[in-house]
Chains A and B, each alone.
Chain A
Amino acid sequence: MRVVLNLHASSVFSSLRGLSRRRSIRLTPEGTRFLLFTFGIGLAAINTGNNLFYLLLAMMLSLIVISGLLSEHCLRRLEIRRHVPDLIMANEPTTLTLSVSNRHRHLPSFSLRVLDVVEGQDVDRGLAIHLLPAQSSILLSYPLLATKRGWIRFEGIRAQTLFPFGLFLKKGFYATEAHLLVSPPIKPLALRFMDELVSEGQGESLSRRGHGTQLYNLRLYQPGDDSRSIHWMTTARTSQLIVRETEEEDQRRILIVLSIVAPDESEPLFERSVTFVASLLWQLTERTYPVRLIVGREDSGLGSGSAHLFAMLRLLALCERHPPETNEINHGGEYLSLPHETDRGYTVAVVPWSEQAASTSAIQADRVLHAAQLEELTHAF
């Protein structure tokens, strides 16, 4: 029985806590003055027993009650949905959208102000709705500038209203939890570095279609194909329009490995290294190279195109620096988990920090970018 009572009590308390979290009310300066006047009139009414003072007191109290009722009405039956993109870049403004619907059958909502609730804090984005008619919705959009990579957790939306008299600020919480992933920013890289990287990677080519001379494949013509690529002989033989696909001539596989081991003091460089890797991936994808990224134990696999780029950016967005003493990823002084594959392609190792005793020459990579080089490459970031 005691257990049941405790359960009931805890459920009541939790519901009360939930209620207080969902609704809150605060006096405005005008409301404070109004309450003071009400208090004064109440005192006068009690002192004199004058019924007309009681009438005025009743008017003041009814205005307070009407304020509460109408503000509650404005916040009730609001339905708020948040539309967030899958991935955004840090330090690049992004537009987020909120859809606010008034599900009330007849009555409109007024004077709404919509705030983001991020990490328990109300963030005013300057979103206001003066009138939201019944059975209608409105789209509110606002710019968001994320300064750090990683997850941004939106706990919900808080709508607040001063309607009708501006005496009370009533707030309502709407749980629309959403997570937004922020990738590292993309920065321009030195052209010389890119040229060196490309020229060093000769020979690590992978057969794939592209602009070249070697035959890669024959296939049926599809609308949009270049008519010059029609293979006329086969077309004549098969009586179907056949196009020839050629092999990309200058195609290399590139593996980028990012070391996530760095002490606290190397945090800025580590972050710049992450940004560097993201920018590098961006550049390589632009040049249609098949790229593979390994961050710690996370492996993106080999791929190309924007979808693969976003997958790799996700890895970078979520990667965390590990201090050397707590590093459990790479025992025995290994900073990188390079795959033991013979055809892994041209390998670039990004090592923002390494122990003095350990030699970066031990890293089995075609090119190792250690702290000094990274400092040089990312000093403009």
Chain B
Amino acid sequence: MPFDQAFKISSILLAIIAFSGLVFAQSVPFWIAIPTAIILIVTLCDAGGIALVRRAMAQVTVSPTIWNVLLIGAFVIFLIDLTAVSQDLLPAGIHFLVMLLGIKLLTLQQRCDYRHLYAISLMAILASAALTTDAWYLPIFLLYLLGAVWTLLLYHLTQETTEASAVITPTSMAAGHATFLGRITQRFFWLTNGIAVMTVGLTLAIFFVIPRIGAGVLQKTHGEALRTTGFSDRVDLGTIGSVKQDPQIVMRVELPDQPTVAKDRLHLRGLAYDQYNGRSWSHSGTRRRSLSLVAEGVFLARPAGSRLPDSLSVPIRQDILLETLDTPVLFAAPFAELVSGDFLAVQIDGMSGLHLPLSPSSRARYSVTSQVPQLVAGDQAAMVLAYPDSIRSRYLQVPVESQQVADLAHRVVQQVSTPFRQTLAIQQHLLDNYRYSLEADTATLNHPLDEFLFVRKTGYCEHYATAMVMMLRTIGIPARLVTGFLATEWNEFGGYFTVRQRDAHAWVEVYFPQSGWITMDPTPSVSAAAGTSRWESIRRFGESFRLQWDRLFVRYSGKDQLAVVHEVREGSDALRERVSSWISALSAPIGHVLTRLARMSRIVQPGVLECITGVVVVGLALLLLMLRDRIGLWASMHLSIAPSQHAIVQLYARMLRTLEKKGLSKLPAVTAAEFARQVERKWGAAGPVVADVTALYHQGRFSRVPLLPKELSRAAEQVGRLQSLLRATH
């Protein structure tokens, strides 16, 4: 493909990529998006050389005046958009930018037009960066970078080819190289892509290294918060059901300290409710206290100086990435001990619910260390539990018309004696006798709990949890309703729970004097979205990718840079320690020997050590002298012989084979000279011949003087003579 054509195509593709970014960011209304997309496709076809489009484009001639009028029109639309329609600079600016893109695509003539197109594309990709934090931006960005490298390179090369060049006389160029100039060759293709790959690598390196400074002078956040239900001060029974089909992701929860724990389910506590009026739950106390700041961004949830409840508690740390929600509630496993995040303040209510002062305007990443209380043996076995008055007064409230519920509760627990077993019995009753269904809409009913317990006997988590709380309270066991999320979707690729809107859940916390509030869930588990198909795997992989994208790119901060530096420093320290330990491990035996030698040197008289060393050196030299013959023999046997020695060795071997036919075999223990003498004694006629060949063999094989060609030919003649003698004797 010629450079010119490739240049046009890459320029338009760059514009397409930038435009796609805006479209994915849902910032372009269809009445602008569709015409712009058509213009992009048409100009791409035109640049690609499709004859039909090219002919049609050639026939359409529009005067510059009309283009100027169109530009002015676009600006007028922008002003109207800014003042009346969008009433915001960013969306109005994006609409204007897209209109400019369309007009510029239709007027691509001069090189300055292409430069304007690149500027518009850059502004478009910048605008889409401002509008989104989603993971789709990464492939768009990478494609844009690839396109930018191609376009910039071709822009430069096409400019160069159009300039006048001097007379060039290639002397050693291969013929193929001449075609490099002006055309996209395979080599050029891979070279450009290689540059793009280099640029990507360098971009990532710079991105992670560049200091993060956020002045925030004109900062403005965009994006709509996710609407949640069940986390307000008053929750009507049945409201959670409206979101139980919503697959939107609310948060992602990692458990960094429990990598091998079975990730089946995790209750993420939001708010607790203590007052039920028969139709809705509410708080009795709305006072919140600010958590004490123990370090920068670290808040202590437990009041300073207080001690843990007298129970066995399991610490669990969660790293949570919370999407932008319309509630200031922070979610965490019960019960939060330490909260760390980029927050100015964190508050806690009377029922251990965590709150931010305001709803976060963007995604929030925070870590929570929770102490999950476990039921102690004393509470399990106690026949009667003595509850504090503060608990009794607050968590035993029931609506006045709950006699039917109380009867049911008493019926269920009549066979069991201890409060703990009664709790279990009620939970089991609900699990066994009621059917989970999201179709049970009770929000409009006057007595939704009675409807659930006695009429429909179908419901969802709110009904189950409310029923259990009410039944427990009617038999004198303090309990409260908790709303939050039940995380069940474990992403094995990313190692985290994906929590969606449909995971909104309600459960029960039962109070035990020694153990504290114990989580109990009477709702039967529903395996709704536990897909195992390949599509599910791909989806979970995508989820994991999005989380990594968010962590590494969207949420990457100066703190992360410091953490990386710290880790690198720690890693280098560890490496240095390891290397030094290796060196010390290696040097220990040597040092030991040297120490012993030094000690010996101190013990023996001065000068004796030198004598010993001298004796050892002289002894080694003598040993080498004595063994030199054996070393030479070993070398002659084992080391490869030089090519020049091959001929005499082969001739000698041929002589030995000839003598064998005569019955004269050379034993391995017999040297060549001894064998020659043996031959002389036994076969006198062949004696001189064999002696001569043996002498030549000695010279050629073992001396440093190589045989001359005439000596080799003499050896060959002697071997031939020996064969003649052999034939003569036969």
Contacts and interface: CB of A to CB of B under 8 A. Distances in A.
Contact of A58 (B126, B165, B210): B210
A48 B216 contact: yes
A139 interface: yes
B204 interface: yes
A133 B199 contact: no
B436 interface: no
A141 B555 CA distance: 58
A63 B153 CA distance: 11
A131 interface: yes
A70 B195 contact: yes
| Most chain A CB within a 10 A radius of its CB, from B159, B181, B195, B218 | B195
A54 B172 contact: no
B166 A139 contact: no
- How many residues of A sit at the interface, in one of the four size bands? 35 or more
A33 B115 CA distance: 10
A7 interface: no
A130 B160 contact: yes
A165 B153 contact: yes
A40 to B, nearest CB: 9
A133 B173 CA distance: 7
A9 interface: no
Contacts of A164: 152-153, 156, 195
A63 B129 CA distance: 19
Given A54-B210, A131-B181, A163 B156 contact: yes
A241 interface: no
Contacts of B137: 52
A44 interface: yes
A54 B212 contact: yes
A136 interface: yes
Contacts of A48: 130, 214, 216, 218-219
B214 A46 contact: yes
B171 interface: yes
A133 B207 contact: no
A133 B174 CA distance: 9
Contacts, number: 155
B167 interface: yes
B148 interface: yes
A49 B216 contact: yes
Given A58-B210, A137-B172, A125 B216 contact: no
Nearest to A41: B126
B217 A56 contact: no
A55 B141 contact: yes
Contacts of A330: none
A138 B195 contact: no
A164 B205 CA distance: 21
B206 interface: yes
A178 interface: no
B608 interface: no
B729 interface: no
Contact of A52 (B157, B199, B554): B554
A140 to B, nearest CB: 6
Interface of B: 115, 119, 122, 125-126, 129-130, 132-133, 137, 141, 145, 148-149, 152-153, 155-157, 159-161, 163-174, 177, 180-181, 195, 198-199, 202-207, 210, 212-219, 553-556
Given A63-B148, A164-B156, 17 more contacts: A47-B214, A49-B215, A51-B212, A52-B141, A52-B553, A56-B126, A59-B141, A59-B145, A62-B203, A70-B195, A128-B160, A128-B166, A133-B173, A138-B173, A140-B167, A164-B153, A165-B153
7 contacts: A47-B214, A48-B214, A51-B554, A66-B199, A130-B160, A166-B152, A167-B152
Pairs of residues from A and B, 4 with the lowest C-beta to C-beta distance, nearest first: A49-B214, A166-B156, A52-B129, A62-B202
